């Protein structure tokens, strides 16, 4: 079985590390403790075994087998079913990697199903084992701690995305042709991140309402509620930052399109000015060439050939025609 953690707790303290699922249930029945089972990429047969032992709802198990679920909290008769979308920022490729974790929380057990490297649930377990008073609150404390870890791991992702957006701001005015593609790719990551973060405040509020109905003693209930309020505050901050990123990227994409159109217009205008200059000089040079070509035919019946001032007249005509065209083009700012 893909079991990576298997511990039974009594009053928030570990009392046994059973070797298999059957032994876990046996210790739970003997001690009245809480079992916390961690699974990593389990198959259908492995989930069936857990379902038989803990009575997991078939619809929740179906969601786990299919995967690709949105963050949510579903209530069933025997347990809660929570889906989270952890994320981590990969510095090497400057991309966000999303995972998925499913949590079944019953009266005396918590089962976590993880299909990605994040979040690091070993940190969650170590943290709770160093806070037995909190862990004594039972599976609700496990739910809180896992969500808290997921939200904490969102902040490095936010920092990575902020750095990417800052780089895009620098590239926008440098004429980088790839910046629009980068903005689009980053927008897709931000949208996926927003889908992971946005439902969490409501999920946590649902968990708070559920905890109030569990009948925990006042000390445990008060401490757990205070921690949930703190996580809600962090989740709201994350959601607001991600929403601002989406707005920034939308504006950046619009600005990129505007700048690209402006550069294209400027290039067209510059090309038009060059064509004017070329056409002007071509016209100036063509007129003397035309006059020279006519006089260069040397037909005997051309009166100008027998005129003493014919040659100077032809040169003067060429010069005056060229000068006249030059002045006209200069006045019209073609030159």
pLDDT for the residue 301: 62
The CATH superfamily label for domain 3-261 reads: CorA soluble domain-like (3.30.460.20)
Mean pLDDT, residues 236-265? 80
More confident residue, 86 or 309: 86
Contact 103, 110 (CB under 8 A): yes
Does the structure show a pLDDT above 90 at 328? Answer: no
| Percentage of residues in the chain having pLDDT higher than 90 | 37
Can you give the residue ranges of every domain in the chain? 3-261, 271-331
Smallest CA-to-CA distance from 86 within 113, 61, 109, 60 is with 113
More confident residue, 323 or 56: 56
pLDDT for the residue 323: 77
pLDDT for the residue 260: 64
* pLDDT 10s digits, 127-167: 999 999 889 888 999 999 999 999 999 999 999 999 988 88
Q: Tell me the whole-structure pTM to 2 decimals.
A: 0.76
> 271-331 in CATH: which number?
1.20.58
pLDDT for the residue 84: 95
Mean pLDDT, residues 237-264? 80
Mean pLDDT, residues 61-68? 90
* Cα–Cα distance, 208 to 238 (Å, whole number): 19
* Cα–Cα distance, 121 to 150 (Å, whole number): 9
- Which phi and psi angles does 18 have, rounded to 5°? -60, 155
């Amino acid at each position: 079985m893909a079991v990576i953690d298997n511990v039974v707790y009594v009053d928030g303290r570990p009392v046994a590390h059973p070797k298999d699922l059957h032994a876990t249930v046996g210790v739970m029945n003997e001690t009245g403790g809480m079992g916390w089972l961690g699974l990593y990429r389990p198959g259908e047969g492995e989930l069936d075994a857990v379902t038989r032992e803990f009575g997991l709802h078939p619809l929740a198990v179906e969601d786990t087998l299919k995967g690709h679920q949105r963050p949510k909290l579903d209530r069933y008769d025997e347990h809660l079913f929570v889906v989270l979308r952890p994320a981590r920022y990969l510095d090497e490729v400057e991309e966000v990697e999303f995972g998925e974790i499913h949590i079944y929380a019953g009266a005396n057990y918590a089962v976590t199903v993880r299909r990605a490297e994040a979040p690091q649930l070993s940190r969650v377990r170590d943290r709770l084992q160093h806070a037995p008073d909190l862990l004594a609150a039972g599976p609700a404390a496990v739910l809180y701690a896992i969500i808290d870890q997921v939200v904490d791991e969102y902040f490095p992702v936010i920092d990575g995305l902020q750095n990417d957006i800052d780089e895009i701001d620098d590239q926008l005015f440098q004429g980088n042709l790839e910046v629009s593609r980068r903005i689009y790719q980053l927008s897709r990551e931000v949208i996926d991140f927003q889908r992971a973060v946005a439902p969490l405040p409501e999920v946590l509020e649902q968990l708070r309402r559920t905890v109030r109905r569990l009948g925990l003693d006042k000390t445990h209930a008060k401490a757990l509620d205070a921690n949930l309020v703190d996580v809600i505050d962090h989740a709201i901050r994350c959601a607001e930052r991600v929403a601002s990123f989406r707005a920034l990227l939308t504006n950046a994409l619009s600005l990129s399109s505007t700048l690209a159109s402006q550069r294209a217009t400027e290039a067209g205008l510059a090309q038009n000015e060059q064509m004017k200059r070329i056409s002007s000089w071509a016209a100036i040079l063509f007129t003397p060439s035309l006059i020279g070509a006519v006089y260069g035919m040397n037909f005997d019946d051309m009166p100008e050939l027998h005129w003493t001032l014919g040659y100077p007249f032809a040169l003067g005509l060429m010069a005056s025609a060229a000068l006249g065209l030059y002045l006209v083009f200069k006045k019209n700012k073609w030159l």
